[in-house]
Amino acid sequence: MSAADEAIAGAEVAIERLRAARRVAVLTGAGISAESGIPTFRDALTGLWARYRAEDLATPEAFARDPRLVWSWYRMRRAMVSSAAPNPGHAALARLEALVPHLTLITQNVDGLQQRAGSSRVLELHGNILRARCSREGAVVDAWEEPDDGEVPHCVDCDSLLRPDVVWFGEALPAAALEEAWAAATTCDVFLSVGTSNLVEPAASLPWVAAREGASVMVINPTAAGQRTGDGIHQLVGTAGEILPRLVSRLDRI
Ligand code: OAD
């Protein structure tokens, strides 16, 4: 029996709760995209970016100081994400949408892979790098001309610099998405926490708020280190690409 099969076999109680659940909430982090080749935040940056930390580039101050540097980091990440493909973990969550009456899928990721896997509705708490927005007026754009000389493109309406449509460190999360995520966490029967280190608030609190409200929480992560334990919290140690397809196949009533 593989480690993933063992993890599933040890979670029978939680799986029964998931099978009977009417309201399910899912929170995903960078770990679910790791098997698509997208480095996680806690992975050190590599290559040209090895001397930087994500925390030093993903800030309003870094963009104000050197917009060209920050924009080129996001341009590299957009190219990486665009050439990546959703993996079986993303696909399993897209399938879950058809298997539970009410699913709220919340992501901290900015890569858009869950939508590309077929999920019809994803709450993006930290935005999406495939969109940009005017750094002055906030108007969001899905497409823009990338200047050949590596310069940062400008807003066509007011000529201000465009910036990635993501939440930077120190910025507020989109209020509507956060409010809906919080409501889902406090009313769900089962909460799946997938591929997150649970270090960055307010997303980090969502699973524990759900547990406090009586939901069964299933934490899917190759390492149990740093994850909370306690009543109603079930660790399924393994990767998203191994655990989620097995978990969802146990529900596939259709
Ligand atoms: P992290 O890089 O902090 O954590 C990734 C988690 O995924 C870790 O707990 C890994 O153990 C786990 N992991 C790695 N490979 C996995 C796999 N194949 N399957 C499942 N899990 C795996 O990423 P996040 O928790 O998403 O915020 O980080 C949260 C936020 O911190 C990000 O959204 C970003 C960052 O600062 C902003 O940019 C505002």
Higher pLDDT, 28 or 1: 28
211: CA distance to ligand 1 center in Å?
Answer: 20
Lowest mean pLDDT, pick from 1-5, 79-83, 246-250 = 1-5
33: CA distance to ligand 1 center in Å?
Answer: 9
137: CA distance to ligand 1 center in Å?
Answer: 31
Quote the percentage of the chain above a pLDDT of 90. 80
**What does the pLDDT average to over 48-74?**
93
148-163 pLDDT, tens digit each: 888 999 999 999 999 9
Q: Is the CB of 87 under 6 A from ligand 1?
A: no
Q: Is the pLDDT of residue 36 over 90?
A: yes
State the pLDDT confidence band at 207, using cuts at 50, 70 and 90: very high
Q: Closest by alpha carbon to 254, among 88, 101, 98?
A: 98
Q: Are strands 140-141 and 216-221 parallel, antiparallel or unpaired?
A: unpaired
CB atoms within 10 A of CB 245: 18
Q: How far apart are CA 221 and CA 238, in angstroms?
A: 5
Q: Is 127 exposed, middle or buried (0-12, 13-18, 19+ CB in 10 A)?
A: buried
Counting from 1 in the atom list of ligand 1, the atom nearest the Cα of 110 is 33
Give, rounded to a whole angstrom, the gap between the first and last alpha carbons of the chain: 26
Backbone phi, psi, residue 134, to 5°: -60, 130
pLDDT number for residue 20: 95
Supply the pTM of this predicted model: 0.95
pLDDT number for residue 3: 85
User: Is 126 an annotated catalytic residue?
Assistant: yes
**What does the pLDDT average to over 212-239?**
90
DSSP state of 161: B
**Taking a C-beta distance cutoff of 8 angstroms, is the pair 222, 241 a contact?**
no
Q: Which protein residue's CA is at the shortest distance from atom 30 of ligand 1?
A: 200
Q: How far apart are CA 219 and CA 234, in angstroms?
A: 6
Q: Is the CB of 196 under 6 A from ligand 1?
A: yes
Q: What is the pLDDT of the chain when averaged over all its residues?
A: 94
Q: Is the CB of 33 under 6 A from ligand 1?
A: no
Q: Are strands 162-166 and 127-134 parallel, antiparallel or unpaired?
A: antiparallel
Q: Is the CB of 186 under 6 A from ligand 1?
A: no
Q: Is the CB of 153 under 6 A from ligand 1?
A: no
CB atoms within 10 A of CB 16: 12
Helix, strand, or coil (residue 48): helix
Higher pLDDT, 49 or 89: 89
Out of 90, 126, 154, 234, the active site residue is 126
Q: Which protein residue's CA is at the shortest distance from atom 8 of ligand 1?
A: 197
Q: Closest by alpha carbon to 239, among 7, 72, 43?
A: 7
pLDDT number for residue 253: 56
132-151 pLDDT, tens digit each: 999 999 999 999 999 988 89
Q: Is the pLDDT of residue 5 over 70?
A: yes
Q: Is the pLDDT of residue 242 over 90?
A: yes
Helix, strand, or coil (residue 68): helix
Q: Which residues pair with 190 in a beta bridge?
A: 24, 216
Burial 85-107 (b: 16+ CB within 10 A, else e): ebbbbbbbbbbbbebbeebbbbb
Q: How far apart are CA 16 and CA 215, in angstroms?
A: 13
181-203 pLDDT, tens digit each: 999 999 999 999 999 999 889 99
State the pLDDT confidence band at 6, using cuts at 50, 70 and 90: confident
77-129 pLDDT, tens digit each: 999 999 999 999 999 999 999 999 999 999 999 999 999 999 999 999 999 99
Helix, strand, or coil (residue 190): strand
Q: Closest by alpha carbon to 33, among 241, 246, 249, 202?
A: 241
Backbone phi, psi, residue 193, to 5°: -110, 115
Q: Is the pLDDT of residue 254 over 50?
A: no
**What does the pLDDT average to over 35-63?**
89
Q: Is the CB of 41 under 6 A from ligand 1?
A: yes
